[in-house]
């Protein structure tokens, strides 16, 4: 239990249902759905749709979605991959002919076909009790009637003026008067409201086969993109078989590649060989091991992670105990290693993650993202849909498994998590923050399981992140890491820098089956909260 005399946030606790999101309006939306008789999947979709309006820098219907679902708290976890694909005309040879060696963020070539609306529709039809049209209504109201800009949203928005200036359609919506709206101001998105209303009336095909698709494809092609109406019309997510690994007596469940959940498990597998609790929760020894495990695991990610439908991804080898042991032997407990990741990756990104558990203990771990803040910076001029830049994670090197190809899904950073024990789901959880997410899962879980912190304390702890890249790289360290700890780590050979903004965000709801209660946390680095009833 936290020291109540100090600043902080208590764990939310309830009996019936709970939602934890990165925005208070989304959390309230989810609770309203639950109290109105909807289930966890209904609430998750409604909340995420709201976030796509009120956190427009982080998510939206122009992005992608991954979900883990535990029906009635079962350990038989359902996994859904709602990530989009490259255009069918996108070949490495074409980019080489054009002299394009990098898929730049503000280019139409960074845009993959959005998967969110298809995922929401499929998940509601298969596991919800309400229609997509009904669950879009709260988002429609906020887009049409307006919403107040909150602290983290305002900070992120202000830092993306360059992004928002690239496309006149984007600037018109998100830079009214040439500037971001500002903290506490009211913002409206009437074009997005109209698009959401159209989807609510006509279903998911209104996005993929109707005038919204035409608006997006016409705009992308005018900018030089390779997208076609067929690319949108054939877009479809898929149920996939989840992967898992054991840690401290729990099974940690992740979606398989093309997401980086396997890398979160690899970090945990490396750390499982150490008695972390003996080092202390905020010591140089603990952070040193965390940094080294990150570096080793992200090196493997950048070398191997890709769409398994079009490349060989050695998941079984990456998750084997022998492989973790081999990597562990490369760690010197006294000195920092060089960080020779084989390929540079795109910069940090924004995402929203949410957890929902209902009265029947259906548990949803739900993540949705446009990748970088405001994605590609490209917006449909008529539809008001901001498009993701997930294609920026592709390589254009034909020898790399993650090389762009027709209909291929890129390496993906967003990963929902689920913790399972004794045949039951005990916690949907997730960490936002682009590339940080795999490392963030490991840090959150080691805080919880090695050091005995509660779900809120495990999020509150200061964070570090060993940035992926070629050669020796710096480690981001939040201001809460004590200077004496950083000095000791610097003496071991680590180099630190200040992150441009707080590292990531997170939500989780822990299910106490014996007591019949729920315990939820929401990251203070974002504007959200956990609420139950």
Name the active-site residue from 351, 370, 379, 473. Answer: 351
How far is it, in rounded angstroms, from Cα 151 to Cα 157? 10
Which residues are 509's β-sheet partners? 520
What is the rounded CA–CA span in Å between residue 17 and residue 302? 39
Query: In this structure, are residues 160 and 371 in contact, taking their beta carbons and an 8 Å threshold?
Result: no
Runs of H (alpha helix) within 128-228: 132-135, 137-145, 151-158, 161-165, 168-174, 190-202, 205-208, 211-222
Task: Judge contact between 59 and 50, C-beta under 8 A.
Answer: no
In DSSP notation, 344-366 reads --PPP--EEEEEEE-TT--EEEE
Q: How many CA atoms lie within 13 A of 41 on its CB side?
A: 26
**How many Cβ atoms from other residues are within 10 Å of residue 301's Cβ?**
25
Q: Is 490 exposed, middle or buried (0-12, 13-18, 19+ CB in 10 A)?
A: middle
Q: Please give, one letter per residue, the 3-state secondary structure of 400-448.
A: CCCECCCCCCCCECCCEEEEEECCEEEEEEEEECHHHHHHHHHHHHHHH
Query: Can you list the pairs that 155-164 forms with residues at least 24 positions away whose Cβ atoms lie under 8 Å?
Result: 155/501, 156/57, 156/58, 156/350, 156/373, 156/501, 157/57, 157/181, 157/373, 159/373, 159/500, 159/501, 160/57, 160/373, 160/374, 163/105, 163/106, 163/372, 163/373, 163/374, 163/377, 164/374, 164/377
Contact 119, 237 (CB under 8 A): yes
Interatomic CA distance for residues 1 and 379, integer angstroms: 46
**CA end-to-end distance (rounded Å), the chain:** 21
Here the tokens at position 132 are: 């997509």
Q: Which helix (H) or strand (E) holds 265?
A: helix 261-271
**163 has catalytic annotation:** no
**Catalytic residue numbers, as ranges:** 351
């Amino acid at each position: 239990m936290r020291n109540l005399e100090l600043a902080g946030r208590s764990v939310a606790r309830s009996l019936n249902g709970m939602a934890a999101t990165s925005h208070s309006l989304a959390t309230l939306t989810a609770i309203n759905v639950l109290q109105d008789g909807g289930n966890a999947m209904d609430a998750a979709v409604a909340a995420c749709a709201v976030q796509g309006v009120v956190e427009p820098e982080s998510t939206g219907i122009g992005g992608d979605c991954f979900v883990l679902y535990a029906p009635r708290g079962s350990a038989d976890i359902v996994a859904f991959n709602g990530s989009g694909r490259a255009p069918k005309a996108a070949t490495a040879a074409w980019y080489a002919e054009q002299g394009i060696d990098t898929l730049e963020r503000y280019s139409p070539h960074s845009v993959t076909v959005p998967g969110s609306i298809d995922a929401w529709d499929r998940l509601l039809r298969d596991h919800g009790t309400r229609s997509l049209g009904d669950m879009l209504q709260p988002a429609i109201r906020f887009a049409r009637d307006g919403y107040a800009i909150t602290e983290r949203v305002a900070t992120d928005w202000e830092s993306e003026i360059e992004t928002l200036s690239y496309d006149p359609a984007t600037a018109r919506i998100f830079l009214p008067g040439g500037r971001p709206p500002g903290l506490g101001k009211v913002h409206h998105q009437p074009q997005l409201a109209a698009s959401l209303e159209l989807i609510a009336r006509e279903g998911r095909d209104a996005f993929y086969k109707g005038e919204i698709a035409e608006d997006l494809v016409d705009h992308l092609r005018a900018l030089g993109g390779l997208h076609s109406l067929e690319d949108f019309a054939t877009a479809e997510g898929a149920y996939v078989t989840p992967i898992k690994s054991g840690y401290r007596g729990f099974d940690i469940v992740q979606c398989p590649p093309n997401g980086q959940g396997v890398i979160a498990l690899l970090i945990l597998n490396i750390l499982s060989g150490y008695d972390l609790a003996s080092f202390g929760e905020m010591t140089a020894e603990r952070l040193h091991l965390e940094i080294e495990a990150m570096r080793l695991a992200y090196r493997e990610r950048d070398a191997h992670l890709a769409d398994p439908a079009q490349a060989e991804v050695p998941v079984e080898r990456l998750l084997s105990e022998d492989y973790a042991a081999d990597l562990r032997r490369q760690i010197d407990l006294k000195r920092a290693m060089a960080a020779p990741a084989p390929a540079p990756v795109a910069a940090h990104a924004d995402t929203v993650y949410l957890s929902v558990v209902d009265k029947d203990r259906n548990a949803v771990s739900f993540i949705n993202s446009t990748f970088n803040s405001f994605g590609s910076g490209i917006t449909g001029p008529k539809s008001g849909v901001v498009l993701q830049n997930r294609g920026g994670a592709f390589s254009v090197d034909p020898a790399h498994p993650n090389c762009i190809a027709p209909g291929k899904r890129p390496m993906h950073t967003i990963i929902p998590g689920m913790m399972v024990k004794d045949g039951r789901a005990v916690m949907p959880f997730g960490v936002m923050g682009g590339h940080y997410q795999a490392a963030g899962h490991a840090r959150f879980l080691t805080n919880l399981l090695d050091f005995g912190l509660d779900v809120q304390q495990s999020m509150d702890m200061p964070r570090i992140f060993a940035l992926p890249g070629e050669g020796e790289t710096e480690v981001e360290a939040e201001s809460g890491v004590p200077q004496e700890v950083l000095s000791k780590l610097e003496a071991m050979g680590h180099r630190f820098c200040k992150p441009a903004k707080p590292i990531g965000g997170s939500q989780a709801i822990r299910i106490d089956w014996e007591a019949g209660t729920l315990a939820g946390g929401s990251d203070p680095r974002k504007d959200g909260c956990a609420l139950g009833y």
